[in-house]
Amino acid sequence: MTVISKGDTFWITGASGFIAAHLALALLTAGYKVKGTVSSEAKGEYFVKLFKQRHGLEGFEYVIVGDITEDGAFDLAVKGVDVVAHLAPPFYMTGINDPQELIDPAVKGTTGILKSNQKNK
């Protein structure tokens, strides 16, 4: 079993989400690096500035992943990470006609993360 040490890098999927952002803050505060996946540059830059300016924390970087269902969508994000925290299943409350609209992308995204992790280790 690998030991996680300060300075290691955590990859957090969906880093702009409420719980993921709080996890990123806690990890940065504890001395870890964080690579977060976000859906846009604006979201990524917001968190870089938030952690640095408001909390005085460095060590957050981001990778943009537009469509989590695409093959290899996470290949770049997984490089150089020591731990994966998957917190980004698709979720919305309105306009859902069929539960599969949420289930299919969640399954494809999760299996995509596992495949990218396996390819890049």
Q: pLDDT of 73-94, one tens digit each?
A: 999 999 999 999 999 877 777 7
Instruction: Check: pTM over 0.75? Answer yes or no.
Output: yes
Task: Count CB neighbours of 69 within 10 A.
Answer: 14
Instruction: Please give the span between the terminal C-alpha atoms of the chain, in angstroms, as a whole number.
Output: 15
Domain residue extents for the chain: 9-119
Least-confidence region, from 8-12, 60-64, 116-120: 116-120
Side-chain half-sphere exposure of 50, counting CA atoms within 13 A: 14
Average pLDDT (56-85) is: 93
CATH topology classification for 9-119: Rossmann fold (3.40.50)
Please check whether residue 30 is in contact with residue 24, taking contact to mean a CB–CB distance below 8 angstroms.
no
List alpha helices for 7-99, DSSP H.
Answer: 18-29, 41-49, 75-78
Q: pLDDT of 37-56, one tens digit each?
A: 999 999 999 999 999 999 99
Please check whether residue 116 is in contact with residue 37, taking contact to mean a CB–CB distance below 8 angstroms.
no
